[in-house]
Structures are given as C-alpha cells and as structure tokens.
Amino acid sequence: MASTILPIRCYPDPILRTKTTIVEDFNRSLHTLLDNMAHTMYQAEGIGLAAPQVGEIRRVCVVDVSREGLELQEFINPQIIAREGSASGEEGCLSIPEYRDKVDRSAKIVVKAQDRKGQFFELEASNLLAVCLQHEIDHLDGILFIDHLSRLKRELFKRWALKQGWQLE
C-alpha cells in the first residue's frame, strides 16, 4: 500500500508543545501512521520524526541515521531508562526549518520501547543515534531542541525567528 506524505507542523504550532499519549492498540491505524511517518521523514531528508510533528498526539517516533534510508527504526512508547556521559553537537529540526544550534545531550542512552506489534525491546544507542533519539523522545514530551539552549542563545533564536516573520510562542 502506498504511503502518504504528511504535512509537517512547524514552530510555533502548539501541537509541538502537547504531551503525547501512550499507544495501547497496535493496530492498522498505528501501522499506517508509522508508514506515513517514515515516508514523510525520507521525503523531508530528516533522520528522525516524531508524531506531533505530523499532528498526531501519539507516543511514536521513527529514526534512520544511516543517511541512506536503509535502517528504519520505529519506537512506540519509548522511554530513556539509562544515560551516560555528555556529547554536544549541532542539531536541527524539521519543525524549525533552517535553524541549527549546538545542544548538550547524553553521549549514551538505553531506550526501552515497543515495536509495531507491541513487543518490548531495549536498545543501547550512542553517537548520532543517541542524539537523534533524545531529540525525538523530547518531541513526545512537548520539548524542542531550542529549549536546551542557554538564555542568550534562546534570545538569539527569538530574534532570528522574528526576522523570519514567525510569531513567537
């Protein structure tokens, strides 16, 4: 079945600030959402996408850091259960187009989640995958990467956003 490209919600859309709800039904509606999210992520050339970014308040994200579109990973009800070290790198977000900045994250994490059938799994992630997952799981709690910036950098972001003609939150 062909997947649909979903419109990506952009800052300051309030849906990006909404906390998602736990998925309990691992049904066709979930599978369609996952397929459409992957398709949308690849189309936008992103390495991760969370459900609120396509207007869905479900605790779901998809990630592919292979940069070749070969290693799609789906996370339903993900939770970070362990963290170690720190890493900082430049991040961007499909919901905040063209803005990039350095964010401090944990260098290694362990994520517990379910797959599309509802099976639980644990994944140890480091490097780009760890950063990407922290970014996407933040989305599921209504948190954006700009929230991790220093006060000064947030001011710079606000100025930049105003220049783009965006309304601020």
Cite the active site residues: 136
Q: Which is nearer to Zn ion, 35 or 138 (CB)?
A: 138
Residue with tokens 């990630």: 63
Q: Is 146 a residue that touches Zn ion (CB under 5 A)? A: no
Q: Is 41 a residue that touches Zn ion (CB under 5 A)? A: no
Q: How far apart are CA 133 and CA 128, in angstroms?
A: 8
Task: Calculate Rg over the CA atoms of the chain.
Answer: 16
Q: Is 103 a residue that touches Zn ion (CB under 5 A)? A: no
Residue of 51, 54, 93, 125 interacting with Zn ion (CB under 5 A): 93
DSSP E strands, 11-168: 48-50, 60-63, 73-84, 87-93, 96-105, 108-114, 120-126
User: Six-digit token pair at 91?
Assistant: 């991040």
Q: Which is nearer to Zn ion, 34 or 140 (CB)?
A: 140
Q: Is 76 a residue that touches Zn ion (CB under 5 A)? A: no
> How many residues at the interface with Zn ion, by CB under 5 A?
1
Q: How far apart are CA 60 and CA 146, in angstroms?
A: 21
Q: Which is nearer to Zn ion, 92 or 118 (CB)?
A: 92
List of residues contacting Zn ion (CB under 5 A): 93
